[in-house]
Homo-oligomer: A and B are copies of this chain.
Amino acid sequence: MRETIARILKFRDDRGWKKFHDPKSLAVSISIEAAELLELFQWMSGEEATRFAAASKERVSEEMADVAIYLLELADITGIDLAQAIDAKLEKNARKYPL
């Protein structure tokens, strides 16, 4: 993932796009891409969505990538380590939902 993140940031910087990347703009973009991912499954049941995802892996991958790219760009500009953020959240969730 480390190399992938480096590629995302290089892509952004090669185009001079960092100046557009404040946390709100990126959160807006994450929401928009999340809705495009959801749109793939609109009107489907859970089972239909499972079959669709298996048959249309590339389309699902693309929409997931769009969400991930903006999320990793947000991590970059805020100086948040996403893996560490997830670990902290899992610990909090473990207290909320004990075994």
User: Given A60-B80, A83-B4, A87-B4, A46–B43 Cβ distance below 8 Å?
Assistant: no
Q: Which residues of B contact A99 (CB under 8 A)?
A: 14-15
A57 to B14, CA, bound (A): 27
Interface residues on A, range: 35 or more
Distance (whole angstroms) from the CB of A35 to the closest CB of chain B = 3
Within 8 A of B (CB), among A21-49: 22-25, 27-32, 34-49
| Given A1-B1, A30-B38, A31-B35, also A64-B80 (CB < 8 A) | yes
Interface mask (A75-98 → B, CB under 8 Å = 1, otherwise 0): 101111011111111101110010
Interface residues of A (CB under 8 A from B): 1, 3-4, 7-8, 11, 14-15, 20, 22-25, 27-32, 34-50, 52-54, 57, 60-62, 64-69, 71-72, 74-75, 77-80, 82-90, 92-94, 97, 99
